Every structure is written in C-alpha cells, then in structure tokens.
Amino acid sequence: MTPVKCFLGALALAFASLASAKTIELLNVSYDPTREFYAEFNKAFAAHWQAQTGDTVVVKQSHGGSGKQARSVIDGLQADVVTLALGEDVDALHERAKLIPADWQTRLPKNSAPYTSTIVFLVRAGNPKKIKDWDDLVKPGVAVITPNPKTSGGARWNYLAAWEYARRQAGGDDAKAKDFIKRLFKNVPVLDSGARGSTTTFVQRGVGDVLLAWENEAYLARKEFGQDKFEIVVPALSILAEPSVTVVDQVAKKKGTEVVARAYLDYLYSDAGQDIAGRHFYRPTGVAAVAKYAGVFPKLQLFTIDEAFGGWAKATKAHFLDNGSFDQIYLTK
C-alpha cells in the first residue's frame, strides 16, 4: 500500500466515523417573547433527536423584533428555520429574497402555526381603573401601554384587535373603528419599538394603567414579577395570533440540514412540543395539550386576520404603511 492510498484510507475512515455520530448545528431565528419557550424546547428536541438518530443537535437562537429578524435573514443571516410573530414577516423571505417557496404556509398543519396566542390586558393588582373590555381603554384618564405598530408585530395584533372590536359594536363601521383607535392612542403615553420594551415600561418602570400584551407575555410578566402585583383581564373578543414557522429552504439545502430542520418543526406539533408550548403560555393546537391546558386559558371569542381583514397583505397596506390608518390617526393628533 502506497502512503497516498494509506492516507486516503485513513481519511475515509475518519469521515465514516464522523458520519456515524454527527454534530449538527441549527439556527432558529425567532422573535422576542419566545426566548424562554425555545430555550426549553431546544433541549427537548436535542434529546429526542439523539435518541432517534444518535446525532447531536445544537440549536442556536437569535431573538429580536419580528420584522427586523426577517430583514436579517433576507440580508444573509443563515437561519435554518424561522419562527416569527406573523405570517407577513415570513412572506417577506419569499417576496424579497426567494429563500422559501410562495406556498410555504401550506407545508405544515394549521397554517404553519403550531401554537397560537391572543391579545389580552395586563392591569395592576386590584384593577384600580376597572378595565373589563376594549371600550374601557378609551376612557379619559386611562393610560394604555402598547408598542409602535410601525415596528412591532405584537403592536399590529393589538391595533387590529381593537379595530375589529369597534367595528363589531352596534352601528359600527370602519369610520367608527378609526375614531375608536384615535381615542385609544390619545391614551398612549409611550410607544416602545417592541413588545418586550412595552412590557418593561409597564412592569419595571411602572408607567401606565393597562398593557396590551401577548397572552404569553402577560403570563410571563406575572410569573417573573409576582402574581399579586398584576392581573390579567381577558376581553370578550380578541384576535387569534398565529405565529408562523418554516424551514428556510435555500439555507438548509446549502447547509445540508433540511432533514433535521424539518424534524425540528414537526416536533413543535408533537405532544411533547405542544406541552412545552402550553407550559410557556402559548395556546397549544394539539388535542392532548389543548385538553391539558383548558383550565389555564380562558375562553373568549377569537377572530382571525383572514376573516376580519382579508389577510396580512391587505391589513398592512390599509393600516400600517405610509398614509395607512395609523399615520392618519397618529400624525393628526
């Protein structure tokens, strides 16, 4: 055997041993409030994958405002999967960079939203301003904390939920809804750029009487800062928020991680994944977890963005782009 052949043989052996127990790295680019959830979920998935294939998976996380995160992936952040706050931000990966196919949302069950959430109110202990429903938010003297819908996904859900509430009142229409929103934003003293920033403003800095928040954010804030300091008020009607997930095909294909990336997202729909979602106050969609957490999440009437606004593309154009309804009510304050 010549030394060259010998070397090649050794090389092949080395590769074979590498192949038998790989370490795979995934990058999950997500939005702000999912930090705690994915920290736990990633551990569970790594254990599951190791038991199944013997390979080690290390999932790295990146968190930030949903729109900003989408922008980073478009600019080349090598995300194998994205788990963002709204379908619109995932859509941008197709529209602007063709990183995923147009039909991404139909590739996974439930509109590619393994867990859902909604918008609720967080108030101070004893609910001193007696806030029960959306119309209490526009009363004089009530300070409402919500992030800026120009930059925050969570804030857009807040905005649209309030809009739809006003439209569904007796004699309600778009003009009445616009007026309602205008009065609501007169009660907003600070517009933070993201959901987590608003929570900190309300909880840590003590500004405002009521925080419009993701349900999971509201529960987490109570857990972190004391159950006795805050109360959660659930309005009669709210919006069904569907945070969407997808494999970023172009990146995963190049990195050769498609199989793991897909398995990672599938695991979100498994009983174990759904249970972790429920524990972190996301509304599970799997039957077993829905039953298990039925007592945790109060029942309320939920509408989807497709029903009420004809989808994100339309809602964004009508309300949040330049000269949308938000600019009209906020700039002419």
User: Would you tell me which residues interact with other proteins (CB under 8 A)?
Assistant: 27, 32, 35-36, 60-64, 72, 74-78, 96-97, 196-197, 200, 204, 224-225, 254
Q: At what angle do helices 35-53 and 258-269 cross, to 10 degrees?
A: 120
> Looking at beta carbons only, is 27 or 218 nearer to other proteins?
27
To other proteins, the closest distance from the beta carbon of 208 in angstroms equals 18
To other proteins, the closest distance from the beta carbon of 62 in angstroms equals 5
Question: Cα 7 to chain center, whole Å?
Answer: 51
> Looking at beta carbons only, is 197 or 278 nearer to other proteins?
197
> Looking at beta carbons only, is 36 or 231 nearer to other proteins?
36
Q: Where are the beta strands (DSSP E) in the chain?
A: 23-30, 56-62, 81-83, 115-124, 144-145, 210-214, 230-233, 237-241, 245-247, 283-284, 301-303
Helical H runs in 118-257? 153-167, 174-186, 195-203, 215-225, 249-255
> Looking at beta carbons only, is 62 or 316 nearer to other proteins?
62
To other proteins, the closest distance from the beta carbon of 223 in angstroms equals 9
Contact 27, 79 (CB under 8 A): yes
> Looking at beta carbons only, is 98 or 130 nearer to other proteins?
98
> Looking at beta carbons only, is 64 or 324 nearer to other proteins?
64
Q: Which amino acid is at 228?
A: D
- What CA–CA distance (Å, rounded) separates 255 from 53? 19
Residue among 129, 182, 116 nearest 319 (CA): 182
To other proteins, the closest distance from the beta carbon of 86 in angstroms equals 19
To other proteins, the closest distance from the beta carbon of 97 in angstroms equals 6
> Looking at beta carbons only, is 74 or 142 nearer to other proteins?
74
To other proteins, the closest distance from the beta carbon of 148 in angstroms equals 16
Contact 248, 84 (CB under 8 A): no
- What CA–CA distance (Å, rounded) separates 36 from 33? 8
- What CA–CA distance (Å, rounded) separates 182 from 164? 14
To other proteins, the closest distance from the beta carbon of 221 in angstroms equals 8
> Looking at beta carbons only, is 74 or 207 nearer to other proteins?
74
- What CA–CA distance (Å, rounded) separates 252 from 261? 7
To other proteins, the closest distance from the beta carbon of 144 in angstroms equals 21
Q: What is the DSSP letter of 29?
A: E
Q: What phi and psi, each to the nearest 5 degrees, are found at residue 124?
A: -75, 160
